[in-house]
Amino acid sequence: MSDQKLFLAVFLGTKDNARMKGWAALSEADRHAKEKEGIAAWHAWVEKHKASIVDMGGPLGKTKSIGEHGIADTSNALTGYTVFRAASHEEAAKLFEGHPHFSIFPGEAVEVMPVLPIPGV
């Protein structure tokens, strides 16, 4: 696996996107059925790519921003993450085509980026 590079996938979604509004408009029974379908599809995706996954990651909670003026509550579109290995950035991105995050659940996108070495280390 030495020829493989490390990547971070971040799952994005906001509460006010059209897909989330459609999800919220579903009946409780329909939403539960979609959740069950989505969870099964997500597990199948993990099983298919388990050799590449370094850290399954998970959902992300509320955000605090820390800067020169202190700590404050904030919000962003980050909903989860996964760390994995792939031979190239293109190959890494292709792993997420049709992912349940946006093909079943109301997520908006998955962004994939390489984890770069720390300079000077």
What distance in Å separates the CA atoms of residue 38 and residue 53, rounded to the nearest whole number? 19
The answer to whether position 83 is within a domain reads yes
The answer to whether position 20 is within a domain reads yes
The answer to whether position 120 is within a domain reads no
The answer to whether position 121 is within a domain reads no
pLDDT > 70 fraction of the chain, expressed in percent and rounded: 98
Give me the number of domains the chain comprises. Answer: 1
Say what the pTM is: 0.91
Q: What is the pLDDT of residues 49-76, one digit of tens each?
A: 999 999 999 999 999 999 999 999 999 9
Quote the domain boundaries for residue 18: 5-65+73-114
76 CA to centre of own chain:
13
- DSSP class of residue 118 equals P
CATH of residue 9: 3.30.70.1060
The ranges of the chain with pLDDT < 70 are 1-2
The answer to whether position 48 is within a domain reads yes
CB 99 within 8 A of CB 45: yes
Residue 7, pLDDT score = 98
CB atoms within 10 A of CB 92: 22
Residue 89, pLDDT score = 98
CB 84 within 8 A of CB 10: no
Residue 3, pLDDT score = 85
Beta strand residue intervals within the chain, DSSP E: 5-12, 53-59, 63-67, 70-74, 78-86, 109-114
The answer to whether position 105 is within a domain reads yes
Residue 121, pLDDT score = 82
